[in-house]
Structure 1
Amino acid sequence: MLGDEGKDRRAWLDIPLPVKELIAGGIAGGVAKTAVAPLERVKILFQTRRAEFQGSGLAGSFRKIFQTEGLLGFYRGNGASVARIIPYAALHYMAYEQYRRWIILAHPAVNQGPVLDLMAGSISGATAVIFTYPLDLVRTKLAYQVRTSSKLVPVNVDIYKGILDCIEKVFRKNGIRGLYHGIVPSLYGIFPYAGLKFYFYEEMKRRVPVEHKKNVFVNLACGSIAGLLSQTITYPLDVVRRQMQVQALAVPDQIKMRGTLAILITIARTQGWRQLFSGLSINYLKVVPSVAIGFTVYDLMKLRLEVPSRDNAAVARERRRME
């Protein structure tokens, strides 16, 4: 029996490296996203200027959601969020590792430093967004719906019963382009955000003494700071993306959007520059644990799956190529 268990474990660990990275990334994304789902719901309501929540504050918003929708209200749209984040995080982490290996092999001079992590992080982020954006759009539309009493009462809005219903209605109304509405600012935002996030995290970990590199609390601290810095720099583009995603629902006619830069300027003029950072304080509360948990769980899963270190994997591939 012990021999059979050992063989089963060996077979499990012998799966291809990219598959291990997909598994580790998907689990990390799902755990991190679920942990911060209530804050994500409130943040979206702030960003999209839902009238019932303007001026409510964090505590007031939590109270209002709980009174009108109950505990499950905090997780409205989380099914779509997790359905998106698992493939998104899986692709993001795996693509980052793959692009990083390709860059090292193609350009050995870029073996370390900011260029490597910025490039690999940015391109992998864009790759993940392109493949999973429709689910992000659905997640935003579902989270935007608010209950009053026992019914959903959006204004001039399709009422979506769930993920598939939302996808069907959006596709029927606007076609495939409707499912990718707002992807341009998403790509603009993910390029710097993903690149900076991986760069800050890897740079801080490089400065950690060897004996502390596998310490969970050290990883959490590095992930927290990486998420905080990268999110602050790119947050206005996230606000633009959310408003584009729901503009057909409730954004005023004067800001029917023309382009990312035009939207940015128009929001600043019509709603004030503070709106570009609306929900940022909540996002700090969300990003710190989310990015920290994501990176930490990913690193733990890689250890569990016996994924070789990035540098060792690159060296092994180089040797095989030269043989």
Structure 2
Amino acid sequence: MSGEVAQLKHEGSQLQVVAAGAIAGLVSRFVIAPLDVIKIRLQLQVHSLSDPLSTRGVQGPTYKGTLGTLKYILREEGLTGLWKGNVPAELMYLCYGGIQFSAYKYSSTLLESIPAPYELHGSAVSFISGATAGACATTATYPLDLLRTRFAAQGTERVYTSLAASIRHIAQHEGPKGFFRGLGAGVSQIVPYMGLFFASYEGLKPVMANSPLALPFGGSDGLSGIIASVFAKTAVYPLDTTRKRLQVQGPMRSKFVHRNIPMYSGVISTLVTISKREGMRGLYRGLTVSLLKAAPAASVTMWTYERAIAGMLMLEDGRRAE
């Protein structure tokens, strides 16, 4: 295989794309797990400067900033507290990566086969393919995402004793729909996010590859992934906060680390309630750590994906040459 990396949607067979996507998701999740827990804790924290709410007897916010949240979790819950929800999250990222890249490859190939004069080109193909891939992967792995959030929302008091126990409890007390609380916000978020991400990534990648300067974060692949991810995540972040608030609704809502999470129902009403009660700051709470998370996550994901594909193709070429 030459030193030039082919465009993402043209690399490897369907099976190789699935395998590389799964590997990329798994590695990425392990690296950013602590930042993910911090982000979720901040997003679930209900606090208004004009009307401070008491959480566990503390007037005002329990967590104050990224470093403050990190120190608090380490002090109260130990190092393992930063990896709460990691088992369902690893399963989610493993499945999500494979489904996402597979759906992206399939969608882009299908769109490029549209005959004239209806054919699509460039960014349009990347945007639609990315949005489709994100929606498919989000829906398929959503129950694991919900479980990840609920475990990350547990403080020193264990709400669920195990992954199996959480599944049984939700199925018994909330029914099948309990596993999909906030799915509307998830799909509403991921469609523009993945569309913007892949369109930006594939637009930036050739530009970065021709840069005369040495690039950090794994070169053109990693840096392009970081810039694309930061841009897309900032644009849709309020929907991410909405999704997290909806995911912890249900009979166990008052038992999570934040005891004062209000009752929400529906994406629009949740957005309106948060903005009215907490202001725009409430919708963007945890954005800083989310962007800090986005950079290594995107860089590791895309860098690992590209190398995994390259390795598989190299092995395949070696077998053919024998």
Please, what TM-score do these two structures have when normalized by structure 2? 0.82
Per-residue deviation at 1:139? 0.4
AA aligned opposite 2:84: R
Q: Distance in 2 between matches of 1:140 and 1:254?
A: 14
Q: Which moved more, 1:30-39 or 1:107-116?
A: 107-116
- Secondary structure (helix, strand or coil) at the match of 2:313 reads coil
Please, what TM-score do these two structures have when normalized by structure 1? 0.81
Choose between structure 1 and 2: higher helix proportion.
Answer: 1
Q: Distance in 2 between matches of 1:135 and 1:81?
A: 7
Q: Distance in 2 between matches of 1:269 and 1:107?
A: 49
1:47 equivalent in alignment to 2:43: yes
Q: Distance in 2 between matches of 1:30 and 1:105?
A: 32
- Secondary structure (helix, strand or coil) at the match of 1:35 reads helix
Aligned residue for 2:265?
258
Per-residue deviation at 1:252? 8.7
Per-residue deviation at 1:247? 2.7
Q: Distance in 2 between matches of 1:61 and 1:160?
A: 22
Deviations 1:166-190 (A, max 9, x none): 1111111111111111101101001
Q: Which moved more, 1:222-231 or 1:254-263?
A: 254-263
Distance 1:294 1:254, change over 3 A: closer
Aligned residue for 1:103?
111
Q: Distance in 2 between matches of 1:42 and 1:289?
A: 15
Deviations 1:76-128 (A, max 9, x none): 11111111110011100111011111111125664532210110000111111
**1:32–1:294 CA contact under 8 A, matched in 2:** yes
- Secondary structure (helix, strand or coil) at the match of 1:45 reads helix
Aligned residue for 1:57?
65
Deviations 1:172-221 (A, max 9, x none): 11111111111011010010011111111011013244698xx8322111
Pick aligned residue for 1:302 from 294, 298, 309: 309
1:91 equivalent in alignment to 2:93: no
Pick aligned residue for 2:283 from 252, 265, 276: 276
1:121-136 alignment runs, 5 A limit: 121-136=130-145
Unaligned runs of 5+ residues in structure 1 are 1-15, 154-158, 308-323
Per-residue deviation at 1:69? 1.9
Per-residue deviation at 1:54? 3.2
Pick aligned residue for 1:137 from 146, 152, 177: 146
Q: Distance in 2 between matches of 1:211 and 1:120?
A: 27
Distance 1:97 1:285, change over 3 A: same
Paired residues, what number?
Answer: 282
Distance 1:303 1:135, change over 3 A: same
Aligned residue for 2:232?
230
Aligned residue for 2:274?
267
1:82 equivalent in alignment to 2:127: no
AA aligned opposite 2:245: Q
AA aligned opposite 1:245: Q
Over aligned residues, Cα RMSD in angstroms? 2.3
AA aligned opposite 2:22: G
Distance 1:69 1:217, change over 3 A: same
1:179-190 alignment runs, 5 A limit: 179-190=179-190
Pick aligned residue for 1:220 from 222, 232, 246: 222
- Secondary structure (helix, strand or coil) at the match of 1:256 reads coil
Unaligned runs of 5+ residues in structure 2 are 1-11, 47-54, 315-322
Distance 1:252 1:34, change over 3 A: closer
Q: Distance in 1 between matches of 2:268 and 2:246?
A: 12
Aligned residue for 1:34?
30
Per-residue deviation at 1:256? 2.9
Per-residue deviation at 1:255? 5.0
- Secondary structure (helix, strand or coil) at the match of 2:175 reads helix
